[in-house]
Amino acid sequence: MNGGRREVLATAAYGVLLVACALLSVAWLAAGAVVAVAAQLPGAADALAVAGAAGDRWAQGVLAALPAGGPAGQAVLDYGFSAATLVIAAVLGTSQERSWSIRLLVLAMVGAAGAFNLQAHAASAVVETATGLPIGTLHQVLLHGVACAAYIVALLLFPPGRGAQPGGAARAVVVVAGTGTLLLVGVGTALLPHTTSCVLFFGILVPVAGLVVLPRRIRGAPTATARTQARLLFSVLAAAFAITAVLAVITLLLWSTGWRSVVLVDMTSHEGMPGHGEPTALLFWFSRLACIAVAVAVFVATRRGGLWTAERLFSRGLAVGLTSALVGGGYVVVRRTLDHVLEVGALTAAVVATAMAAPALLPVYVRAERLADRLLFGSRPTPYRVLAGITALSRVTATDAPDLTQVAEAVGRGLGAGTCRLTVTRPGLRDRSHTWTEGGEHGPGELVEVVVRHGGEAVGTLAVDHGAVAGLHHQRRHLLEDVADSLGVVLQASRSGIELERQLRAALAHAGEIAASRRAVVAEMDAERRRIERDLHDGAQHHLVSLRLTLGLVEHQVSTGQLDKARTRLEQLAGQIDVAESILAETAMGVSSPLLAERGLVRALEEELARGQPPIAVDADGVVPAGDGRFPHDVESAVYFCCLEAVGNARKHAPGASVVVRLRTEDGRLRFTVQDDGPGWDQAGTTGSPGRGLRNVTARISAVGGRVEVRSAPGRGTTLEGSLPLPEPDARPAPRPPASTGSPLLDQVRDAVREARELYPVGVQAGALRALAERLDDPRTGPRGPEPAERRACREDARAARAVLRALEELVRTDPPHAGAELLRYRLDRIRSGAHELAELDVLDALGAGELQLPDGERRAAERLLGVLGPETPTRLGLAPGSPAPDVRRAAAEQLARWQRHAVNPLAGSDARTAADVLVRTCERLLARP
């Protein structure tokens, strides 16, 4: 509350003082302008004399002040400086910055505009003559003292911001400094000529005060912006003070030699004191210019943008100013000494002075640049010292990764930065940043950033605040790049550690997924085993026990001679055997179907669905089977069991609804539809994974390269549609089993079937293996050339090989042979692990069945890469057919990098990462093609 009241009172006092100084300054400038104009107009003095004789006291005052007016050229220059000062004050007053340093600077500029205008001092004579009030002393004390005190206090409070505002003892120091300056300047102006007081107080006192205060602000400012603002103003004050010192030496030399070419007419000069007509013009006009330059520097420093560019320009300007002051001052001193003391002639003196100044220009500028850099930015660390500190903190042991926060601190402290940020870039992942801030209190703000490279690869970035790299010396500009180069190994080590950590987490997560999947598979197999045991116990076992009792009764009847009764029992026994066979077939339903093997797909579905209540008809008019009236065994089995599953679901969930089953062949595919007009269900509102039945249907269809889709809506029933690819018909009249198919995968599977037939010489297994061998030797999987146009047929070979391989694996798992089982299982595992075509088919089937979820863009890219749009290499890479080899290799390399990032992405699921691994191998094979 006290702080708020104090702020209000200070603002009110400032407003009153600003208005008073503005009115007095403008009034004094206007009165002085009237006197200056009257002094230059012919007849003006006579007109004023006539008006004064008539009793006009203001005319008498202007007439009395005419002798105090200066030359016309001096008046024009004087009012030009005053106008510029008022314009700068207006710009500062209307800026967005509202700090006390800006407010006080506005007050100082307004006061200085009227205080040091030599023509305006004639207004004192006008007012005293017209009113009889001696206000000249009040004018001197008020405008001069307030202007200079405001300048000093503004410099004490600069740069604006929370950290620059004084508090406690510091506020008392500011008050004492302002009061002391007000008294000193007020008394000094009353005793000294105005030209001398302007030079002493504005040309020397103000720069000295700023040079004393600002270095501490540069070192202790809370932010990089505040330090830059302080450096910017310090550069202007240092240049102004240096030029003033040189001009003072030149002025003393001109005064001592009696040179009257550069003089200033000061009518306020006291008798017997220097200043009236003395060579002080250079110092006076430069002092007024310095006041404007300080205000301009403050305005530029408080702007919202371009601060760092302005700092570079002003720092360079300080070096140029120092060089100009030293070389120019030396030139004037040498020339004046030669001309006045040695009397060698003006032309000779100018030539000699120029010959001495020209060679010294570059060395002086280099030293001035170093001096300016040291004054503004302090002592600079050498690159070796910074790198040594980094090496000490970034040393990596066998068990520790580099602590990049400590490395950032070492770089920041070594460069003298307030903030340092190290960022490690990771392809496909979010960057990881380590930021150090001095004191830990301030944010990073605007930073200078360079790229850190290792072996030509960008591994991260190094960023520091502008103050750490600002400066004039060329070595400073390259130090940050040198430090960044030395950090390449450190950031690469950090990247490796992060990648290993990520891979470890991914591996642990993958291991968990594998364990969960195995537990689910074991649980499902155990449940299936219990189901079969229950069905056998409750169904087939009862009938078999009854069958055994009937056989025992027949044996008794035969042994006792009851042959007629035994014959009757035998007829009953045949019926019981049929029932037991039916029960066993139903128990094994889903594993095999004798009816399907005997009758084929259409007849088996018609007979099976006709047994139910109500019976269901099969519409198979659009079916065009192969020449023998049958489809491949795996196709028939998949469609048969999927249709039965769909019909069973319809009877379960929509009892009484009519069900339609349709089969047709179209465009080389077998299509099937199971549709009911039941109540349906809301697919959009269904959450969770599909049921076990739908998963089984999808798995069966996907296993043979097909797709299945379920559509349903409330009140519209449910429709299941699926399609499977059929092998292309071969017009050749007779099969010709080849010695080799031209497909290494088919040859390997054929050898595995031959080995399995040796292990299963007789029984049902032998018949199944004979069918598998015949399928592999079918002409449709015969030899094919390596031309790109025929690679689609090779894909069908791979599907056939996969189906046979799965059948062999199932056979070995469910009914292992007595000898050689492990060897055959190893052979099958080796075939599967070495056949990349099978992995590609698995990914394609998973995409088609919806088991592998990828974004639309990634899904289309994966399907194209796997040859859905065409088997040619350019087509698979998204290029036009016939693209040149360099374009093909570049596209393959881009796809390889793309799927490698997916393969290591920890956010992707295990299935997506596995599919990405397959696609990576596909890209590698495409790159290896000639």
- Residue range 913-927, pLDDT digits in tens: 778 888 888 887 777
Q: What is the mean pLDDT of residues 13-17?
A: 85
List Cβ<8 Å contacts ≥24 apart for 301-304: 301/159, 301/228, 301/229, 301/232, 301/233, 302/95, 302/97, 302/99, 302/102, 302/159, 302/160, 302/229, 304/96
Residue from 704, 621, 628, 697 nearest 666 by CA: 621
Q: Band the pLDDT of 662: cuts 50, 70, 90.
A: very high
Tokens representing 642 are 């999927």
Q: What is the pLDDT of residues 411-470, one digit of tens each?
A: 887 777 778 888 888 776 778 888 888 765 444 457 888 888 887 788 899 888 776 776
Are 173 and 181 in contact by the 8 Å Cβ rule? The answer is no
How far is residue 215's CA from residue 231's CA, in Å, rounded to a whole number?
8
Work out the burial of residue 158: count CB atoms within 10 Å of its CB; fewer than 13 is exposed, 13-18 middle, 19 or more buried.
buried
Q: What is the pLDDT of residues 186-222, one digit of tens each?
A: 777 777 777 787 888 878 888 888 888 888 877 777 7
Residues 6+ apart with CB under 8 A from 114: 21, 24, 25, 26, 28, 29, 82, 120, 143
660: part of which helix (H) or strand (E)? strand 659-666
| pLDDT at site 164 | 43
Partner residues linked to 433 by β-bridges:
423
Q: CA 313, 314, 319 angle in degrees (round to 5)?
A: 100
Q: Give me the domains of the chain, ranges plus CATH numbers.
A: 2-304 (no CATH), 305-376 (no CATH), 383-486 (3.30.450.40), 501-585 (no CATH), 589-725 (3.30.565.10)
Tokens representing 22 are 């503005």
DSSP calls for 855-868: -HHHHHHHHHHTTS
Residue from 82, 219, 222 nearest 160 by CA: 222
Q: What is the pLDDT of residues 525-538, one digit of tens each?
A: 666 676 677 667 65
Q: How many helices, marked H, and strands, marked E, lie in the chain?
A: 35, 9
DSSP state of 378: -
Beta strands in 42-86 (DSSP E): none
Q: Band the pLDDT of 660: cuts 50, 70, 90.
A: very high
| pLDDT at site 765 | 72
Most confident of 33-37, 179-183, 194-198, 600-604: 600-604
How far is residue 696's CA from residue 687's CA, in Å, rounded to a whole number?
19
| pLDDT at site 686 | 65
Q: Band the pLDDT of 393: cuts 50, 70, 90.
A: low
| pLDDT at site 285 | 83
pTM, entire model: 0.49
Whether residue 231 has pLDDT greater than 70: yes
Are 922 and 865 in contact by the 8 Å Cβ rule? The answer is yes
Are 413 and 465 in contact by the 8 Å Cβ rule? The answer is no
* Residue 317: strand, helix, or coil: helix
Residue from 503, 580, 479 nearest 539 by CA: 580
Amino acid, res. 782: G
How far is residue 421's CA from residue 415's CA, in Å, rounded to a whole number?
13
Higher per-residue pLDDT: 585 or 255: 255
Whether residue 583 has pLDDT greater than 50: yes
Partner residues linked to 662 by β-bridges:
619, 673
Higher per-residue pLDDT: 875 or 187: 875
